[in-house]
A and B are shown apart, each in its own frame.
Chain A
Amino acid sequence: MRDSLTAARIRLGLTALGFLVASVSLAPSTARAATLPETGDAIVDSSIGDASRLLPILATDSASGEIVGLLFNGLLKYNERLQIVGDLAESWTVSDDGLTITFGLRPHVRWHDGVPLTADDVRFTYEKLVDPNVHTPFSSSYERVASVEVVDPHTVRVHYREPFAPALESWMMGIIPKHLLEHEDLNTTTFLRHPIGTGPYRFVRWKTGELIELAVNPDYFEHRPFIDRYLYRIIPDQATLFLELLTGGVDQAGLSPLQYTRQTDTPYLRRRYQKFRYPSFGFTYLGYNLHDARFQDVRIRRAINLAIDKQAILDGVLYGLGAVATGPYPKESWAYDPSVTPDPYDPDGAKTLLAQAGWVDHDGDGWLDREGQPFRFTMLTNQGNEVRRQVAELVQQQLKAVGIDVKIKIVEWSTFVHEFVDKRRFDAVLLGWNLSRDPDLYDIFHSSKTKEGEYNFVSYANPEVDRLLEQGRRTFNKAERTQIYHQIHRHLYEDQPYTFLYVADALPIVSARFRNVLATPIGIGYNLIDWYVPRREQRYHQLSR
């Protein structure tokens, strides 16, 4: 239980994007199999936690995000190569000054109740996002919007006070129906449990804590999805989930590295399931409190980077299912600078650097010391995350080898955030970030974001990085942005405000009867509407309603 809850929390960072991950798009036709896709069957997906509110602007947990992603569409979305493409918008243009974005909506899109979608729905969604009485945490992404103008029923123009490149990503927020929600209190409306959207699946029923059922939307604007039903089972325990896989009780699940490498490697499971592996958008890191006099010295941060064998951590804890990180972006991102090469594991180099900074083992007790003080610090991490605990122990061992004495302290999440991180009562933290596909890192590394409760809690301040972060948000030009984020990546690696450890892989498993399931940089779910099951392998048949 504790583990699963933490897992839910780990996914929290991603929640803002949950709806993106699950959103579906037209698959490249090249991937079509030789046989013609057949309709029918159901897919039984699984989740450790239940959804809470099925409205895009209130969907904060990952379960709600996944379901909402199938029920609603944004104006834009990411395709399988992480490029921004139209979803409800068939065209969009950004004005030269970057202050106006004009969206042309697809004609003939209808809500699940048959009412046509119009530009008014878009404006309504925006109004609700910034309405102070709506309990949405997502308003921050829209505070630079000056106004949303309905030009005609199929054209919306968004005016900005200043250019803001991450804005495009913010329009991936699911659009909600004005005609059904106009007179409702969005916080409490029954719509939250009986949603009506434009997506490839429509809502059927929700048994709290147990099951959510969706049915195909035959009029979906891209094409009718082939799979008739989508069932979302809530299975909070990872061991139970595994047993359900063995009996075929679920068709799709996320595996742990141990399950992926060892437990699923049986002839039965190899025959019945297909496994996938692709990098998740997030990284695990060791963050330093830069108010600590020792960590202010960049030589020490670099020394620790040299002293940590990331590949050993990956192999030992994640069974090699991930990649060593050199910065905040996975290799698949255009913001990743491939010329940033990771320094090799070099404990001797680390010792040299530490000695330059004055840390030498003077008294021969095995620990480095300076002015009679041993080099000792506490590494803080959150409770309930088994992988993180193991990583902490490996880091502890590896730093011991260079003479740094690390204490591990594991604290419950809320306490961790409020009593330690917010109040800066820590030496170093072992944490992970799940980030959006847009490379903007203003909130995490800009020197202005160091107030209590803000996310630059390591208090990193580099005027050059500040300037680049500001610049990166102000231009829409992809080539220019690529340049900027490559530089940010390099600065972060040189400055080491965090020691970047690894990017873990997402490890989904899907029943072998589903065809057209493709692992791409954005994952496997993006083309759910193209998945199908050949008729003779179909398992669930149409039920009399």
Chain B
Amino acid sequence: MARYLLRRLLALLPVLLWITVISFGIMHLAPGKPTDVTAQFNPKVSLEARQRMEKLYGLDQPLPTQYLQWLRRIVALDFGRSFLDERPVIDKIVERLPITVAINIWSLLLILLCAIPIGVIAAVRPDGLFDRLTTVFVFIGYSMPSFWLALLCMAFFGVSLHWLPVSGIHSLDYDYFSWVHRGLDTAWHLILPVGMSAFVGLAGLSRYMRSSMVEVLRQDYIRTARAKGVSEWRVLFHHGLRNGLLPLITILGLSLPDLIGGSVIAETIFSIPGMGRLFYEAVMARDYPVVMALVTVGAVLTMLGNLLADIAYAYADPRIRVGETP
């Protein structure tokens, strides 16, 4: 198992290298330079001043040189400094990571909490009333424009009812609150964003769960269990669910990179300073160091997620484990 792991990990390196080369290339192929944002189309800024700034940022070097310089730093885990405000890129990421991860984890938990029961119960009687109702429900969430739904909820719960805050993740005076008060305040602000994000993501997992359970419930061992006189509850959640959950493992593994990626639209609507906005703003500003750092981190997490899913799969399903190490 250890050798297998090592081999898989080493195989990731060339892939990672390629990903960085390609993203570096694409980013620099896009027209425009980081200095555009600070100095473009401002008559107070002369051409000479702009050229001098480009030189200071090393943008006058040939592309391969710039890439190698970036690579040399990244090997030492130095992500460099943002062109926009010259803060270390790592600081900018660390500052925005917690809120995005929190929203994603809470929303994932909420999705699992709803999707598993919905999927299982719907699978008992495929195309029955419950199945149809939940299908309609989850697809409403999936297909409705999320920004519009978010605005409607903000207008209803925030403006009309005054139950929830309209936007933001903290009250204005959050920093002066006690610890308990802070926790409650954040939770109160997160209800809408987390709820929205879960509603949108519910369709995928609940449908996966349903189809996998439909498959499982047709198996012989389920019939055997029922024939033995096992209660329906136990058939579903003990015999059925354990096998039905297997495909979910893969999906969860693949969603690892999603945990650090925020939705630009949701973050913008709810005024949340998360990773989505960081990435989007960095791309629009051609802030190469930030873009490259986020791409690299995302790529690493995607590959690790794949690997983890494979391992978890092997762990959960003895047939794979046996096949892998004879």
Which residues on the B side are within 8 Å of A210 (C-beta)?
A: 168-170, 271, 273
Stretch at the interface among A109-117, A296-304, A449-457: A449-457
A7 CA / B158 CA spacing, docked (Å): 26
Q: A207 contacts the other chain (Cβ, under 8 Å)?
A: yes
Q: A60 contacts the other chain (Cβ, under 8 Å)?
A: yes
Q: B213 contacts the other chain (Cβ, under 8 Å)?
A: no
Query: Are A207's CB and B268's CB within 8 A?
Result: no
Which residues on the B side are within 8 Å of A53 (C-beta)?
A: 85-86
Which of A196-229 touch B at CB < 8 Å?
Answer: 205, 207-211
Query: Are B45's CB and A240's CB within 8 A?
Result: no
A143 CA / B48 CA spacing, docked (Å): 11
Which residues on the B side are within 8 Å of A414 (C-beta)?
A: 30-33, 36, 286
Which of A61, A135, A207, A247 sits near B170, CB closer than 8 Å?
A: A207
A299 CA / B74 CA spacing, docked (Å): 59
Given the known inter-chain contacts A414-B30, A543-B176, please indicate yes or no for A52 contacting B45, CB distance below 8 A.
no
A9 CA / B48 CA spacing, docked (Å): 21
Q: B265 contacts the other chain (Cβ, under 8 Å)?
A: yes
Q: A357 contacts the other chain (Cβ, under 8 Å)?
A: no
Instruction: Give A326 Cβ to nearest chain B Cβ, in Å.
Output: 20
Query: Are B166's CB and A140's CB within 8 A?
Result: no
Interface size on A, residues (CB 8 A): 68
Which of A1, A13, A137, A249 sits near B280, CB closer than 8 Å?
A: A1
Q: A132 contacts the other chain (Cβ, under 8 Å)?
A: yes
Instruction: Give A103 Cβ to nearest chain B Cβ, in Å.
Output: 21
A237 CA / B276 CA spacing, docked (Å): 14
Which of B43, B50, B166 sits near A444, CB closer than 8 Å?
A: B43
Instruction: Give B150 Cβ to nearest chain A Cβ, in Å.
Output: 9
Q: B42 contacts the other chain (Cβ, under 8 Å)?
A: yes
Which residues on the A side are within 8 Å of B286 (C-beta)?
A: 414
A143 CA / B47 CA spacing, docked (Å): 13
Instruction: Give A190 Cβ to nearest chain B Cβ, in Å.
Output: 10
Given the known inter-chain contacts A249-B167, A413-B32, please indicate yes or no for A455 contacting B41, CB distance below 8 A.
yes
A208 CA / B284 CA spacing, docked (Å): 18
Which residues on the A side are within 8 Å of B166 (C-beta)?
A: 240, 243-244, 247, 249
Q: A415 contacts the other chain (Cβ, under 8 Å)?
A: yes
Q: B56 contacts the other chain (Cβ, under 8 Å)?
A: yes
Which of B30-58 touch A at CB < 8 Å?
Answer: 30-33, 35-50, 52-53, 56
Query: Are B151's CB and A243's CB within 8 A?
Result: yes
Query: Are A135's CB and B37's CB within 8 A?
Result: no
Query: Are A140's CB and B86's CB within 8 A?
Result: no
For the complex of A and B, 5 pairs with smallest distance between CB atoms: A414-B32, A209-B273, A140-B46, A16-B44, A137-B39
Residues of B within 8 A of A (CB): 30-33, 35-50, 52-53, 56, 81, 84-87, 92, 95-96, 151, 154-155, 158-159, 162, 165-170, 172-173, 175-176, 264-265, 268-273, 277-278, 280-281, 284, 286
Identify 13 new A-B residue pairs, CB closer than 8 A, beyond the known A207-B273, A544-B176. A12-B40, A50-B273, A137-B38, A137-B50, A138-B49, A140-B46, A141-B44, A236-B277, A240-B271, A243-B158, A244-B167, A417-B41, A444-B43
12 contacts between A and B (CB under 8 A): A135-B86, A188-B87, A207-B170, A208-B92, A233-B271, A235-B168, A239-B269, A247-B159, A413-B36, A414-B36, A417-B41, A443-B46
Residues of A within 8 A of B (CB): 1, 4-5, 9, 12-13, 15-16, 42, 44, 50, 52-53, 60-61, 132-133, 135-141, 143, 187-188, 192-193, 205, 207-211, 231, 233-237, 239-240, 243-244, 246-247, 249, 412-415, 417-419, 433, 435-436, 443-444, 451, 453-455, 540, 543-545
